């Protein structure tokens, strides 16, 4: 699917996804705009200078993402992720823009695998709940205010530039330093997708014109923490020791696998990046 050139506002353009999405959009011939640094996405005034500039699509990435932190500061997560999304939608409403909202994993403990979009939504942490509330605002603006909105639900993303508080960058850091790798729990399994594959999903989403739709974005496979540790050690060709502390997180989700058939059928998207090859790239990537 080839998209005609568009003028696209990317919120959160300096974040993990945004830093890679912007150049990809430009390479496709689109014009990409950013919010000024330091502006609060919860404030309508933050969008003031972009009114009347011909923006036709907003890719809303800006938000808070770290699950453990959401338990410590839930009020901040709800405010930024829900109210911030409402303000982006209000800009869309006032400027006749389409919204692509990047949500997250919102299903809670799965009732079945793989998880399709019809699976019950049962967020079990403040981060996921706040992202789902953002989805619901998108739904309302679409159904009652005429804003076309697409919701993308990435499962677990990884790749260059991700913060070291996340699992894979943490493991990469420990392996680079040559010290014993330590994890709290080696049993949880997640569906991991390389950020560049997700970028391609975003790029394809720009060309869609549906009124309201929700799509899972994942690899369709899951890997345990143990399997990831072993992949990191294998990629480094070393004999680094590792151990688990067997510390179970409250409300831990045992496994997630994304069913991305709907996205494949709608946009022709499928993941391309292999996990083990990507881990090796990350391990030997400078400043990655």
DSSP 8-state class, residue 119 = S
Q: H or E stretch including 130?
A: helix 126-145
Domain for residue 232, yes or no?
A: no
Mean per-residue pLDDT of the chain:
95
Res 279 pLDDT > 70 = yes
Res 251 pLDDT > 90 = no
Domain for residue 211, yes or no?
A: yes
Asked which of 15-19, 192-196, 236-240 is least confident by mean pLDDT, the reply is 236-240
Taking the alpha carbons of 101, 206, 33, 19 in that order, is the dihedral positive or negative?
positive
**Per-residue confidence (pLDDT) for residue 238, from 0 to 100:** 79
Task: List, for residues 72-89, the tens digit of each pLDDT value.
Answer: 999 999 999 999 999 999
pTM across the whole model: 0.95
Domain for residue 140, yes or no?
A: yes
Res 2 pLDDT > 80 = no
Q: Which structural domain, as residue segments, surrounds residue 108? A: 7-160+193-220+252-272
- Report the CATH number at residue 60: 3.40.50.720
- Secondary structure class of 78 (helix, strand, coil): helix
Mean predicted confidence (pLDDT) in 202-225: 96
Domain for residue 188, yes or no?
A: no
**Per-residue confidence (pLDDT) for residue 136, from 0 to 100:** 98
Domain for residue 257, yes or no?
A: yes
Length of the chain: 288
Q: Give the whole-angstrom CA distance, residue 222 versus residue 90.
A: 37
**Most confident option among 89-93, 210-214, 235-239:** 89-93
142: Cβ contacts below 8 Å, ≥ 6 apart: 148, 149, 211, 212
The strand ranges marked E within the chain are: 7-11, 31-34, 57-60, 98-102, 149-154, 156-158, 181-183, 189-190, 192-194, 212-217, 223-224, 242-244
Domain for residue 152, yes or no?
A: yes
Between 209 and 100, name the one with better pLDDT.
100
Q: Give the whole-angstrom CA distance, residue 152 versus residue 53.
A: 26
Considering its fold, how many domains does the chain have in total? Answer: 1
**Per-residue confidence (pLDDT) for residue 1, from 0 to 100:** 46
Domain for residue 175, yes or no?
A: no
Closest by CA to 80, choosing from 95, 70, 91, 90, is 70
Q: Give the whole-angstrom CA distance, residue 270 versus residue 198.
A: 9
**Per-residue confidence (pLDDT) for residue 288, from 0 to 100:** 59
Q: Give the whole-angstrom CA distance, residue 188 versus residue 164.
A: 19
Domain for residue 90, yes or no?
A: yes
**Per-residue confidence (pLDDT) for residue 239, from 0 to 100:** 83
Task: List, for residues 40-51, the tens digit of each pLDDT value.
Answer: 999 999 999 999
Res 250 pLDDT > 90 = no
Res 143 pLDDT > 90 = yes
Question: DSSP string spanning 251-283?
Answer: T------B--HHHHHHH-------HHHHHHHHH
């Amino acid at each position: 699917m080839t998209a005609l050139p568009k003028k696209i506002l990317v919120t959160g353009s300096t974040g993990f996804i945004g830093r890679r999405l912007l150049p990809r959009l430009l390479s496709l011939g689109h014009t990409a705009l950013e919010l000024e640094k330091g502006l609060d996405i919860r404030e309508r005034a933050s969008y003031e200078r972009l009114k009347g500039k011909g923006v036709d699509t907003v890719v809303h990435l800006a938000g808070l993402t770290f699950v453990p932190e959401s338990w410590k500061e839930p009020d901040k997560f709800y405010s930024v992720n829900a109210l911030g999304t409402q303000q982006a939608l209000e800009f869309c409403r006032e400027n006749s823009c389409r919204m692509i909202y990047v949500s997250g994993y919102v299903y809670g403990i799965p009732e079945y695998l793989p998880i399709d979009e019809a699976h019950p939504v049962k967020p079990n942490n403040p981060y996921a709940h706040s992202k789902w509330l953002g989805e619901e605002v998108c739904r309302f603006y679409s159904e009652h205010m005429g804003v076309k909105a697409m919701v993308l639900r990435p499962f677990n993303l990884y790749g260059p530039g991700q913060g070291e508080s996340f699992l894979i960058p943490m493991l990469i850091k420990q392996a680079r330093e040559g010290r014993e790798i330590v994890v709290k729990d080696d049993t949880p399994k997640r569906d991991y997708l390389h950020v560049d594959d997700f970028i391609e999903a975003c790029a394809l989403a720009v060309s869609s014109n549906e009124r309201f739709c929700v799509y899972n974005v994942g690899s369709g496979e899951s890997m345990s923490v143990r399997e990831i540790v072993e992949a990191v050690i294998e990629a480094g060709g070393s004999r680094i020791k590792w151990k688990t502390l067997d510390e179970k997180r409250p409300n831990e989700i045992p496994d997630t696998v994304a069913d991305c058939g709907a996205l494949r059928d709608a946009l022709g998207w499928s993941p391309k990046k292999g996990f083990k090859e990507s881990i090796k790239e990350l391990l030997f990537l400078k400043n990655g």
